[in-house]
Structure 1
Amino acid sequence: MRLVFAGTPEVAVPSLRALLASDHEVVAVVTRPDAPAGRGRKLMRSPVGELADEHGIEVLTPAKASDKVFQARLRELEPDVCPVVAYGALLPQSALDIPRLGWVNLHFSVLPAWRGAAPVQAAVYHGDEITGASTFRIVKELDAGPVFGVLTEPIRPDDTAGALLDRLAEAGAGLLVSTVDGLANGGIAAVEQPAEGVSYAPKISVDDAKVDFTLPGLAVDRRIRAVTPEPGAWAEFRGERVKLGPMTRAEGVEAAPGELVVERKRVLVGTATWPLKLGEVQAQGKKRMQATDWARGSRIEAGERLT
């Protein structure tokens, strides 16, 4: 079949690679416009756009999917189906109506759980033991279309959202190709999502990633892992923001919420329950480093806290 793939970040690259290696023809890619990045703030192509360029595939970068010029070109390409992975923009009905078999999205949850922009982060934060990925036909309502296929993936105790998403991106690529294969041979049918079990995972902001050490240690641990690597956990120390990597449970010390306890080989921080051992820390204007090195350089005094 003729495919127009829509996606933007690195997490979408495994799916595009898998489709390029399939029996189908990727005739074009739709991705978000080039954006400034790095210290020089130079305009950079998205990871999906870069891969398309490497394969000599036409790249479409509309500011909005409602753009008439974009939609006219999409009609000219005559796609049978448009696979989508983390494209990052809303698709109006006028665009949804163009491909013969619609737009098929790979979403990183077992729908109808965790519809929205941050399903993996939500699954980690809420302590889910199992998550997965789903392919579904895009409709106007957010992530509510009928489902073609599902896979499941256990969430490990030390999983960050980034590590879990990497696994789902690789496994999900195979699910997306299988779905497109099924559409091509007529061997797959979409099933409406149940009305029960719907939950939502809105985009996580930088403010959402601030760590609240007055919460129980389990909740603090989950929050940090859920926002690693993006947008990144943080707290304040001496009035300045410090970024925090994943932590582990510690024993043998009592500490008030946020209180820092510096030992020779470890740095602990208190929560509402048990303390946590700090992993990596990054102070403003500094490189990421082990907590012991940060504590040594900061000369932390007894009773000082992360807030």
Structure 2
Amino acid sequence: MDIVFAGTPEAAVPALEALAASEHRIRAVLTRPDAPVGRRRVLTPSPVKARALELGLEVIEAGRLRGEVIAQLRDLDVDAVAVVAYGAIAGPAALATARLGWFNLHFSLLPAHRGAAPVQRALIAGETRSGVSVFRIDEGMDTGPVLRRRELALDQPDVATALDDYAHAGAGELVAAFDDLAAGTADFTEQAALIDAGEAASHAEKITVDDAHLDFTHTAEAIIDRSRGTSPAPGPWAEISGKRTKIFGLGPAVEVDIQPEPGLLTTRDRTAVLGCGDGWIAVAEIQPFGKARMAAVDFLRGHGEVRFDPVEAEPDPADTESTSTEVPDPRA
């Protein structure tokens, strides 16, 4: 088939390479425009653009799918569009530019974890299994009919490793889906049927800095899961004297001979350990505010024991009585 490939980050590169090596023809690669990177804000091409140029493929850069970009896609007259983390919504006009439609490789077992951060949210939730899905895009949020699903382990130490594993596994599933489409043997399953069969639909919202804030009154398991789901970016963090400090490489600690104190960072048997709600966790690295990342034991060697600030509980609106004396307008 003649296809357009749409993608932007590193996680989309394995699928681009797999399709370029397949029997299908990539007529063009659609990616987001060059973006400033680093402290010096150097304008840098996306990983997909860089690899597409190495492969000698035509590149179309667009932050939004409308106007001239729609015309370019229509002129290419392709059979289908393959999408892997492109980063923009395809509306009806864009979806109509390919005869068979647009097909997305998504890093979850749909209908679970629809949305922007499926692997991150699954890790934070402590799930041990997830997978990849290839589905036809419709006007909903990852709600289209599914062509292929593959279950995978989710036991990686961080998001970067998990995404790399899923990107390579998903690349093969995407090529297989396009092979089925070309042969006319594609088998579509509506997500409503999967839900009726007992599978739960869920939404994976984009990860924010607040999602990476660690509360050491929680269990060791919950803290480690949140760390895995937010490493390496935005990076798990807590505060020391009001200053944000990132913490990396959290894992189960060996037996510690003192009672856990949530938020206490100390050493035992030449290992940095951190107290939490039900025990201790090991800490590999720490990045103090405004400083370079370093081994946690080296940090403690210069500072002694350190206590992270407690996380202030969010007030419950239901427990807050209104003090307003304003009389409501009966016409409202």
Q: TM-score range by the shorter chain?
A: over 0.9
| Aligned: 1:206 with 2:204 | no
CA distance in 1, matches of 2:28, 2:293: 40
The structure that has the greater radius of gyration is 2
Q: After superposition, what is the alpha-carbon deviation per residue over 1:230-250, rounded to whole angstroms, capped at 9, x for unaligned?
A: 211111112211111121222
Corresponding residue number in structure 2 for 1:154: 153
CA distance in 2, matches of 1:16, 1:183: 17
Corresponding residue number in structure 2 for 1:243: 246
Displacement, 1:306?
4.8
Corresponding residue number in structure 2 for 1:45: 45
CA distance in 1, matches of 2:236, 2:169: 27
CA distance in 1, matches of 2:77, 2:121: 37
Contact 2:242 2:309 in 1 (8 A): no
What are the residue-to-residue correspondences of 1:180-199 with 2, within 5 Å?
180-193=178-191, 194-195=194-195, 196-199=199-202
Q: After superposition, what is the alpha-carbon deviation per residue over 1:245-288, rounded to whole angstroms, capped at 9, x for unaligned?
A: 12122222322211222346122111110111111111123222
Contact 1:255 1:261 in 2 (8 A): no
Corresponding residue number in structure 1 for 2:7: 7
Displacement, 1:123?
1.3
Displacement, 1:169?
0.4
Question: Is the partner of 1:230 in helix, strand or coil?
Answer: coil
* TM-score, normalised with respect to structure 1: 0.95
Q: After superposition, what is the alpha-carbon deviation per residue over 1:65-123, rounded to whole angstroms, capped at 9, x for unaligned?
A: 1x210000101111110000001111111101110010000000001111111111111
The list of structure 1 runs, each at least 4 consecutive aligned residues, that deviate by more than 4 angstroms after superposition, is none
Corresponding residue number in structure 2 for 1:254: 259
Amino acid at match of 2:209: V
CA distance in 2, matches of 1:305, 1:37: 31
CA distance in 1, matches of 2:169, 2:118: 16
Corresponding residue number in structure 1 for 2:168: 170
- Over aligned residue pairs, what C-alpha RMSD do you find? 1.4
Corresponding residue number in structure 2 for 1:296: 301
CA distance in 1, matches of 2:113, 2:30: 25
Amino acid at match of 2:175: V
CA distance in 1, matches of 2:308, 2:56: 54
Q: Give the unaligned 5+ runs of structure 1.
A: none
Displacement, 1:58?
1.5
Question: Is the partner of 1:197 in helix, strand or coil?
Answer: coil
Corresponding residue number in structure 2 for 1:276: 281
Q: Give the unaligned 5+ runs of structure 2.
A: 311-332
Question: Is the partner of 1:18 in helix, strand or coil?
Answer: helix
Q: After superposition, what is the alpha-carbon deviation per residue over 1:214-236, rounded to whole angstroms, capped at 9, x for unaligned?
A: 11111111000111112111111
- How many residue pairs align between the two structures? 303
CA distance in 1, matches of 2:115, 2:39: 31
CA distance in 1, matches of 2:32, 2:88: 8
| Aligned: 1:224 with 2:223 | no
Of 119-128 and 140-149, deviating more is 119-128
Contact 1:236 1:306 in 2 (8 A): yes
Corresponding residue number in structure 2 for 1:62: 62
Question: Is the partner of 1:183 in helix, strand or coil?
Answer: helix
Identity over aligned pairs, percent: 45
CA distance in 1, matches of 2:241, 2:15: 45
Amino acid at match of 1:16: L
Question: Is the partner of 1:100 in helix, strand or coil?
Answer: strand
Q: After superposition, what is the alpha-carbon deviation per residue over 1:23-76, rounded to whole angstroms, capped at 9, x for unaligned?
A: 1111101111110002321111100011111122111112311x2100001011
Amino acid at match of 1:12: A
Corresponding residue number in structure 1 for 2:128: 129
Of 264-273 and 104-113, deviating more is 264-273
Contact 1:264 1:292 in 2 (8 A): no
Amino acid at match of 1:172: G
CA distance in 1, matches of 2:208, 2:112: 20
Question: Is the partner of 2:82 in helix, strand or coil?
Answer: strand
Question: Is the partner of 2:98 in helix, strand or coil?
Answer: coil
Displacement, 1:304?
2.7
CA distance in 1, matches of 2:212, 2:225: 11
Contact 2:22 2:175 in 1 (8 A): yes
Structure with more of its chain in strand, by fraction: 2
CA distance in 1, matches of 2:187, 2:67: 31
Of 130-139 and 281-290, deviating more is 281-290
Question: Is the partner of 2:16 in helix, strand or coil?
Answer: helix
Of 126-135 and 242-251, deviating more is 242-251
Of 100-109 and 268-277, deviating more is 268-277
CA distance in 1, matches of 2:277, 2:215: 10
Amino acid at match of 1:161: V
Change (3 A) 1:304 1:159: closer
Corresponding residue number in structure 2 for 1:34: 34
